[in-house]
Structure 1
Amino acid sequence: MGKKFHLFEVFGIELEYMLINKGNFKVTPIVDALLTKKTGELTADIDNGKIAWSNELVAHVIELKTNGPTSDLNSLSSLFHENILEINNILKEFDSELLPTACHPLMNPLIDTQLWKHSYSDVYELYNRIFNCKGHGWSNVQSTHINLPFYDDKEFEKLHAAIRIILPLIPGLCASSPILEGKNTGFKDTRLEYYKTNQKEIPEMTGLVIPERVFSKVDYYATIFQPIKNAIKPHDTKNILDHHFLNSRGAIARFDRNAIEIRLVDIQECPNADIAICVLIIEVLKLLVNKKLGSLQNQKKWLKQDLFAILNPIIKDAENYKISNLEYLKMFHLNNSATVQNIWKHLYELAKPNIHESHYEALDIILNQGTLATRILKAINEDYSVKNITKVYSQLASCLQENKMFTP
């Protein structure tokens, strides 16, 4: 285990993208070819200066991440963008490119899924045996992960308490998966709708998405890790799965690296949007941790069931959902029921003095024109033909290439 850091001293950001064929717009399982082209041999992880590249469970998804913890969030948008340009350049010879958003709108996972066949493949094979990883919830999901450090139990308690409180609001900021298999699913955040039941065979793994009220390492092991270990035992006879890896809540504690990883963020149209969202979430967490919003006691008392009851309709309606739980709103110094969009606007105003102005434009678009899911649906304008969906998502691919916001 490396050096330990204090709260908000450093950050780790991970972005996942799918590879698609430019000709037929289908996902294309050639991440191994891309990684081989980059280094001359196949490796699952590539250090590319400040950003690292790695493979994922399925062969058409690549992950870009900060190469170790960084204290500088504001330069990440351009760093990630440079890597995206480099990858798209390599992919030209395969007539392919990266596509943003959390779900491919036309993919048929039963036909189009290929699992990663190289390193870690024994782990992936076992997952596939237990859960059948051909479904959308496994093979058609791209997210942004935010890793935040804690130094000891005291810091873990504050950070975990704050993260649990903010989790329900996250899809109302960043839902980007409204269309699957050419249809409007009725959920702005279809990725999370699948996330809830993805591992129903072993419910201990995801729980209720919102983590339990546990605020120390000992409690976490007893309440979360132990039940997971017990539940997986009959399936994992060779003991190859790690409990850190198996915990699939919306935020997971990584005691192996003293960090909590937030997993409910759908990936956006470009790093500009992704990093702006990460910065806003982090600044609101700072307000919670520093007791500028709701006391620690108040934050800790929330049951996972009550927080899930707020999260669940937001997965469906994103920023348009109106929260009427006054007890919850009071923590954010709001006295009346409010839409998730207005709650985020209010939190943005509180956090804005600490947010670098390079993020203002992206946040203004998201908070005023709606989540990316809302903007995608507006651009689709009720025409769900393959031709029109391809047209709109090709514009999103251009946004990624140019690192610019999508405004229909």
Structure 2
Amino acid sequence: MRKKYHLFDVIGIELEYMLVSKTTLKITPFVDTLLTIKNGELTSDIENGRIAWSNELVGHVVELKTNGPTKNLNALSELFHQNIIEINTILKPLNAQLLPTASHPLMNPITDTELWKHSYSEVYELYNRIFNCQGHGWSNVQSTHINLPFYDDAEFEKLHAAIRILLPLIPGLCASSPILEGKETGFKDTRLEYYKNNQKKIPELTGSIIPEKIFSKKEYYTNIFEPINKAIKSYDTNNILNHHFLNSRGAIARFDRNAIEIRLVDIQECPKADIAICNLIVETLKLLIYEKLSPLSNQKKWHENHLFDILNATIKDGEQHLILNLEYLKLFGIEKAVNVQNIWKHLYELAKPTMDKSHYEAIDLILNKGTLATRILNAVKGDFSELNIIKIYNQLANCLQENTLFPS
């Protein structure tokens, strides 16, 4: 039987990266080769000490994740970095490297997508038949997932309520996908702009991105899982899809492991930034759950559609979105209209005393100089030529290799 944990006892982190050519930056679907070289034979998951490696939907994305729940979030930056160095060393003879950020800036998903062909491929093939995964929302998305435990319904209620109201602010902290196919998209978080639409064929899977006002396991099964199972039935004639896998909201309840997985975090330029963001999100959730900012009753009352309206604007404008909804702002102890950047500055000041000092540099950079999306656009300086984009994204690849922050 899987061990159950209480709120914030442990955490699980997943980071997704693209494999690209070192010289041209083109997509290289070599994850099967990478895993084979590492393991001596092809397996979909490899345990590498405290970090595990695995494949994803497409052949050019590898996922690094904590090998089970961990108590020490602060050690993860270095652990992930060690694995990144090892992977890049394996990839070097293939003239390939890992690339960070939530979307490839030059990828053509129609011509460059290669689905994973090996274990679990029947699931990916089914998804491709239903949704056509040759699109940016499927084959050009890299994210950070944060997994937080709950012990019972009482803890699920508090955790789900807090996560729901924080989700709309997340793109204003970590958007990193402002360019697709060599053009500025107009969205700081283009990954989420595609994410919110890529399963509209079966709307029960994604809902309104913000999870519904549901605060118990029984309610969740009745109002989310049962509609999902019903909606997918005519497509999944061989019963190979699981409702935990199908649920694509911005935060999903994993009752199979008593955790909620937050999915709205764009991956950054290096683990130092990723783990700092995870730390700030976790410490902010603690402030909400322990009712330091607003009572649980107020957090629970928000309808997903009203929260989605805020999220939708933040997907577009990132940290610069001005929030006018004073009732929403009161949830965080703010009394006047402010932009998302200033909300995070406010939350950071409250959370900072309980954060590890190793995270200060990254959060200070993000909150003062902008999200990675903003910093990428500042670096591009309006020159969206392929040559300039390759230059900037090779700098980002170097940030990943060195575990250093991308400057403003």
TM-score scaled to structure 2, two decimals?
A: 1.00
Q: Which amino acid aligns with 1:289?
A: I
Residue aligned with 2:379, SS = helix
Please show how residues 27-176 of structure 1 align to structure 2 within 5 Å: 27-176=27-176
* Offset of residue 22 of structure 1: 1.2
Rounded Cα–Cα distance in structure 2 between residues aligned with 1:225 and 1:71: 30
- Describe the superposition over 1:7-48 as per-residue Cα deviations: whole angstroms up to 9, x where unpaired: 000000000000001122101001000000001100100000
Gaps of 5+ in 1: none
Q: Which amino acid aligns with 2:164?
A: R
Calculate percent identity across the aligned residue pairs. 73
User: Where in structure 1 do 4 or more consecutive aligned residues deviate above 3 Å?
Assistant: none
Q: Quote the residue 2:393 is aligned against.
A: 393
Rounded Cα–Cα distance in structure 2 between residues aligned with 1:190 and 1:146: 20
Q: Quote the residue 1:205 is aligned against.
A: 205
- Describe the superposition over 1:116-175 as per-residue Cα deviations: whole angstroms up to 9, x where unpaired: 000000000000000000000000000000000000000000000000010000000000
- Describe the superposition over 1:181-218 as per-residue Cα deviations: whole angstroms up to 9, x where unpaired: 00000000000000111101101100100000000000
Rounded Cα–Cα distance in structure 1 between residues aligned with 2:387 and 2:63: 28
Rounded Cα–Cα distance in structure 2 between residues aligned with 1:25 and 1:216: 46
Rounded Cα–Cα distance in structure 1 between residues aligned with 2:303 and 2:61: 35
Rounded Cα–Cα distance in structure 1 between residues aligned with 2:21 and 2:338: 42
Do structure 1's residue 234 and structure 2's residue 231 form an aligned pair?
no
Q: Quote the residue 1:324 is aligned against.
A: 324
Contact 2:24 2:390 in 1 (8 A): no
Q: Quote the residue 2:361 is aligned against.
A: 361
Rounded Cα–Cα distance in structure 2 between residues aligned with 1:285 and 1:257: 20
Q: Which amino acid aligns with 2:207?
A: G
Rounded Cα–Cα distance in structure 1 between residues aligned with 2:97 and 2:150: 37
Residue aligned with 1:373, SS = helix
Rounded Cα–Cα distance in structure 2 between residues aligned with 1:365 and 1:24: 29
Aligned residues: 408
- Describe the superposition over 1:243-298 as per-residue Cα deviations: whole angstroms up to 9, x where unpaired: 00000000000000000000000000000000000000000000000010110100
Residue aligned with 1:47, SS = strand
Rounded Cα–Cα distance in structure 2 between residues aligned with 1:331 and 1:313: 18
Rounded Cα–Cα distance in structure 2 between residues aligned with 1:9 and 1:23: 44
* Offset of residue 90 of structure 1: 0.2
Residue aligned with 2:196, SS = helix
Gaps of 5+ in 2: none
Q: Quote the residue 1:225 is aligned against.
A: 225
Q: Which amino acid aligns with 2:283?
A: E
Rounded Cα–Cα distance in structure 1 between residues aligned with 2:77 and 2:242: 32
Q: Quote the residue 1:344 is aligned against.
A: 344
Residue aligned with 2:74, SS = coil
Rounded Cα–Cα distance in structure 2 between residues aligned with 1:25 and 1:298: 48
Residue aligned with 2:35, SS = helix
Q: Quote the residue 1:405 is aligned against.
A: 405
Q: Which amino acid aligns with 1:56?
A: E
Rounded Cα–Cα distance in structure 2 between residues aligned with 1:326 and 1:39: 54
Residue aligned with 2:362, SS = helix
Q: Quote the residue 1:298 is aligned against.
A: 298
Residue aligned with 2:394, SS = helix
Q: Quote the residue 2:264 is aligned against.
A: 264
Residue aligned with 2:162, SS = helix
Q: Quote the residue 1:374 is aligned against.
A: 374
Rounded Cα–Cα distance in structure 1 between residues aligned with 2:23 and 2:4: 47
* Offset of residue 325 of structure 1: 0.3
Q: Which amino acid aligns with 1:403?
A: N
Q: Which amino acid aligns with 2:311?
A: L
* Offset of residue 2 of structure 1: 1.3
TM-score scaled to structure 1, two decimals?
A: 1.00
Rounded Cα–Cα distance in structure 1 between residues aligned with 2:6 and 2:229: 29
Kindly report the root-mean-square deviation, in angstroms, between the aligned alpha carbons of the 2 structures: 0.5
Rounded Cα–Cα distance in structure 1 between residues aligned with 2:312 and 2:296: 24
Rounded Cα–Cα distance in structure 1 between residues aligned with 2:403 and 2:366: 15
Q: Quote the residue 2:183 is aligned against.
A: 183
* Offset of residue 334 of structure 1: 0.6
Residue aligned with 2:62, SS = strand
